[in-house]
Amino acid sequence: MNTLVFAQLFPDEATCREHYKNMRIKRGLTCKKWGGTGHFWLACKGQVECKGCHFRTTLRRGTVMEHSHLSFRVWYLAILFMTATKTGISACEMQRQLGYKRYKTVWSRMHRIRTLMGRRDDLYSLTGMIEFDEGFFKEATPEKEHQRLKRGKDSQRLENVGVMVESTPLVDINTGNESKHCRYFKLKALDTQKSESINTLFQNSVTSDRVVFTDQGNNYQDIHKFVDMHITEKSSKNSTKTTLKLAHIEIGNAKRTFLGVYHKMSSDYLQNYLNEFTYKLNRRNFADLFERVIKAAVFPYWEESA
């Protein structure tokens, strides 16, 4: 959705609230007390009431908008700016666009949306042939930058990120040229470079009947336990152009995107930035990102996996 369409569909708070209400009710409500699904809409209170036990609750409860005083329209606009921009938008810029006073509020709401995006992608496991590689991301904060200048370049903290790509090799029948088709990606911040965090990643993110390609990293010796076949190739100029090409491209793209958009990026929130990047990357061929995020935003978190 672009800004013009948004302005037509959601001109004011009432249209946003009505839209959210309809999406939320269409999604279905379950009573917190006993799980009943029948509810009345209490227009005067802006709440729903359980038909069985008369327990009342707001539409925001359990969703990304829970405990937030921001209007529905501000939430909708924030989701619009995050999904309509290819590279994303900084909290500073968002604050300016929304005309909002408090930076911290805008910043934390954006991270909630990124967490939501990550939870959606976590529902899926990768299939097909998988490339796996690691990239190092520099932490960027003004304080860190100051320390770095004071102490010399090497004091800057590096964060390790694992990149998984579903890729299918394709050979052109007429020319014999080889290329690759890629579908879904996963980018995960790794706690340490140690093999445990890589093992956990494979356990959670791929189905066991997969073929995985990596270079000959020291931390990859257990990967074969989680997949059907693990093929290693010695790291070389050639492997970065062939076997692990897609993983390398996306590590580079993610770094460039982050550098261009965010002035501050603390390693504590690196996974959230990766969530947004991956969410958009995996849905690069879809035109309805805004609608998809709103749809995800009406799910209470305890029902998300359903």
Distance from C-alpha of 121 to C-alpha of 103, rounded to nearest angstrom = 28
Q: Which is nearer to Zn ion, 38 or 252 (CB)?
A: 38
Instruction: Report, in Å, the least distance between residue 31 CB and Zn ion.
Output: 3
Q: Which is nearer to Zn ion, 31 or 246 (CB)?
A: 31
Instruction: Report, in Å, the least distance between residue 33 CB and Zn ion.
Output: 4
Q: Which two three-digit tokens encode residue 235? A: 């790291």
Instruction: Report, in Å, the least distance between residue 32 CB and Zn ion.
Output: 7
Instruction: Report, in Å, the least distance between residue 259 CB and Zn ion.
Output: 50
Q: Which is nearer to Zn ion, 50 or 91 (CB)?
A: 50
Q: Which two three-digit tokens encode residue 299? A: 């799910």
Q: What is the Cα Rg of the chain in Å?
A: 22
List of residues contacting Zn ion (CB under 5 A): 31, 33, 36, 50, 52-53, 55
- Burial class of residue 151 in the structure, from the number of CB atoms within 10 Å of its CB (0-12 exposed, 13-18 middle, 19+ buried): exposed
Q: Which is nearer to Zn ion, 55 or 107 (CB)?
A: 55
Distance from C-alpha of 89 to C-alpha of 86, rounded to nearest angstrom = 9
Instruction: Report, in Å, the least distance between residue 119 CB and Zn ion.
Output: 26
Single out the residue of 7, 280, 248 nearest to residue 118, CA to CA.
280
Single out the residue of 188, 222, 229 nearest to residue 208, CA to CA.
229
Distance from C-alpha of 123 to C-alpha of 304, rounded to nearest angstrom = 9
Q: Which is nearer to Zn ion, 31 or 298 (CB)?
A: 31
Q: Which is nearer to Zn ion, 54 or 96 (CB)?
A: 54
Distance from C-alpha of 293 to C-alpha of 89, rounded to nearest angstrom = 16
Instruction: Report, in Å, the least distance between residue 29 CB and Zn ion.
Output: 10
Start-to-end Cα distance in the chain: 27
* Residue closest to Zn ion when measured from CB atoms: 50
Instruction: Report, in Å, the least distance between residue 41 CB and Zn ion.
Output: 15
Is the Cα torsion angle 268, 273, 276, 280 positive or negative in sign? negative
Q: Which is nearer to Zn ion, 55 or 100 (CB)?
A: 55
Q: Is 197 helix (H, G, I), strand (E, B) or coil?
A: helix
- What H or E segment, with its residue span, contains residue 152? none
Distance from C-alpha of 195 to C-alpha of 218, rounded to nearest angstrom = 8
